[in-house]
Amino acid sequence: MKMNQDLKEQIIQYAKKIGIDKIGFTSADPFLELKEILIRHRELGYESGFEEKDLDKRTNPKLSLENAKSIIAIAIAYPSKIVSPPKSTKGEYRGFVSRSAWGLDYHLILHEKLNLLGRYLKELVPSAEYVVMSDTGVLSDHAVAERAGIGWIGKNSLLISPEFGSYVYLGEMVTNISFPEDQPMENQCGDCTRCINACPTQAIVSPYQVNGKQCLSYITQRKDMLEEHWMEKLGNRIYGCDTCQIVCPKNKGINSMHHELTRPNPELAKPLLKPLLTISNKEFKQTWGKTSAAWRGKKTLQRNAIIGLAHFKDESSLPLLKEILEKDKRPMIRQTTAWAIGKIRGQQAKEILESVKFKEKEEKVLAEINKSLKRLANQDIADSPNKK
């Protein structure tokens, strides 16, 4: 074991050198407790659908690497603040992008570090085998990081490290080399319930249990037409939701700016909503292509931007929304627009909806137009001075 303690030290030193903020080591034993939790989670219908379906693969590292002996968990901190945020200009509304998607796509950042670490391990031990993963891998990054002593899992289900809060990207390497294990950290949430109280959709159904389908982070990434109650809750979220991180006292005062690649481009972290609606595919690829917010495609972000304009009741966007409702080829976008125009309200909104009503061929879009018109008519009655 002495030899592997030395090897572990060498790995830790190399990790520091290549900019890994935290590293921890754990065994490759199955995550039995996690499996029970995941089974229950599935039974309750709390999965978002983005997770690996095979619960054995999710909890047994040996199904990722046959001779697995240990897992090396890593964390890379990302910023929580924009140094020079874009100036607010009257009538120009902006969206919100989750901090985790501010810089270069974190999958790229983590994989580069993990691959460097893997190659280094192989230099030291030529017989070493390894598999690297993060987020889209089969294992639970949070469970691995917790067992490897990187931090504890908070009541919002995010991993919290004392140094960097929950603003960390997590990844891991499963390897056939044994290392002395690190100890898990004590949970430091105490009797705090801020994240549970602040969640706009009550997605944190109980401490440490998040209903993925109800979480706005997942909802911003859905590709289909959103139900009205979700559109009402979305606000100006274009991608992701950080509410349960922003309120967390363990994140207070933490802003890790030391990785250049994680730093935000202010115009993408808080993008103007209207320009997002007219962006070409080429331009989208050039500007958003290297961020993780782009993975669900332009249409998803545009749908959310339209909902954002409705949230701000931005009347100046009505001519643009009219054009979208008349010409956009994507029914889901037209349907969302019909809803948004109705939310913005006013005579102009009514006229737009009336003008497209007889041209729209798609049933669902037409139904949304009629629903918005009905809502506007009811509001007119409610606002009428002669109302009894």
Interaction site with ligand SF4 (CB under 6 A): 154-156, 189, 192-195, 199-201, 203-204, 210, 215-217, 241, 243-244, 247-250
Between 59 and 221, name the residue whose CB sits nearer to ligand SF4. 221
CB of 100 to ligand SF4, least distance (A): 10
CB of 213 to ligand SF4, least distance (A): 11
| 135 has catalytic annotation | yes
Q: Given the structure tokens 């705090």, which residue do they identify?
A: 192
Judge contact between 182 and 148, C-beta under 8 A: yes
Q: What tokens appear for 227 in the block?
A: 């139900």
Judge contact between 246 and 166, C-beta under 8 A: no
Judge contact between 175 and 86, C-beta under 8 A: no
Q: What is the number of the residue whose Cβ is closest to ligand SF4? A: 154
CB of 153 to ligand SF4, least distance (A): 8
Q: Which of 179, 152, 168, 177 is nearest to 113 (CA)?
A: 168
> From CA 295, how far away is CA 292, in angstroms rounded?
6
374: CB partners within 8 A, 6+ apart = none
Between 5 and 202, name the residue whose CB sits nearer to ligand SF4. 202
CB of 151 to ligand SF4, least distance (A): 11
Catalytic residue, chosen from 6, 29, 54, 135, is: 135
What is the per-residue DSSP string for 74-140? Answer: EEEE--SS-SSPPPP-TT--B-EE-GGGSSS-HHHHHHHHHHHHHHHHHHH-TT--EEEE-SSSSS-
Angstrom distances, CA of residue 5 to CA of 1, 22, 97, 179: 6, 17, 42, 7
CB of 96 to ligand SF4, least distance (A): 11
Between 178 and 255, name the residue whose CB sits nearer to ligand SF4. 255
- What is the DSSP-derived secondary structure letter of residue 165? B
H helices, E strands: number in the chain? 17, 10
Between 243 and 291, name the residue whose CB sits nearer to ligand SF4. 243
CB of 278 to ligand SF4, least distance (A): 29
Between 128 and 246, name the residue whose CB sits nearer to ligand SF4. 246
Angle formed at CA 235 by CA 233 and CA 238, multiple of 5 degrees: 115
Between 180 and 249, name the residue whose CB sits nearer to ligand SF4. 249
Active site residues: 135
